[in-house]
């Protein structure tokens, strides 16, 4: 490719733009345009006098707000994500817990765990119950609430697991 851009030296551009960074006060739009035009003209040996740099008007805030609030939550994307494995681990006062959740189309389809032996029954039930639930923080609450009846002796531990998972997944 034989153009003026192909012979451009990265150091020349760096030198040309360095002076903009030396300002101690914010640049006005017109000043910035002038600096950019001068730098282009000097570094690229081009006539930048006819270059017009527009200060874009404000974007469409109504459309921006609508898109922002729609995309702020991952609910719009539920079921559209590729399969993935979420690995989580933490240390509780009662022991270390590691979970690997296989997620397919936003749904938990398998859970592997490592936990203290005293909590294997509870974690085994958790891993079986979680299958089929959506992968989100609300589901963790439902899963744990279902386990509270069967594992009432581990109420505090289940509450800790629930809080941890809600924080990690939210």
Residue 12 burial (C-beta neighbours within 10 Å; 0-12, 13-18, 19+): middle
pLDDT at residue 75 greater than cutoff 70: no
134 beta partners: 107
pLDDT band at 63 (very low <50, low <70, confident <90, very high): confident
- Confidence at residue 3, expressed as pLDDT on a 0 to 100 scale: 40
Q: What is the mean pLDDT of the chain?
A: 78
**Can you give the pTM of this predicted structure?**
0.54
Q: Is 105 left (phi over 0), alpha (psi -120 to 50) or beta?
A: left
Query: Are the beta carbons of 48 and 41 closer than 8 angstroms?
Result: yes
Express the helix, strand and coil content of the chain in percent, nearest 5 each: 55, 15, 30
Query: Do the Cβ atoms of 4 and 44 come closer than 8 Å?
Result: yes
Tell me the pLDDT tens digit for each residue of 119-144. 999 999 999 999 999 988 899 999 99
Share of the chain above pLDDT 90, in %: 42
Residue written as token pair 């029954």: 121
């Amino acid at each position: 490719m034989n153009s003026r851009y192909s012979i451009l030296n990265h150091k020349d551009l760096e030198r040309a733009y360095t002076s903009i960074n030396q300002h101690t006060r914010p640049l006005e739009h017109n000043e910035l345009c002038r600096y950019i035009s001068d730098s282009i003209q000097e570094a690229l040996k081009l006539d930048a006098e006819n270059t017009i740099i527009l200060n874009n008007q404000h974007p469409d805030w109504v459309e921006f707000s609508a898109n922002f609030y729609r995309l702020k939550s991952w609910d719009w994307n539920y079921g559209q994500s590729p399969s993935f494995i979420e690995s989580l681990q933490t240390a509780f006062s009662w022991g270390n817990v590691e979970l690997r959740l296989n997620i397919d189309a936003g749904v938990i389809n398998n859970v592997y765990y490592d936990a203290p032996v005293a909590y294997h029954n509870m974690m085994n039930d958790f891993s079986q119950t979680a299958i089929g639930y959506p992968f989100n923080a609300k589901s963790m609450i439902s899963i744990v609430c279902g386990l509270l009846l069967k594992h009432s002796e581990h109420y505090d531990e289940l509450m800790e697991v629930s809080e941890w998972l809600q924080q990690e997944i939210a």
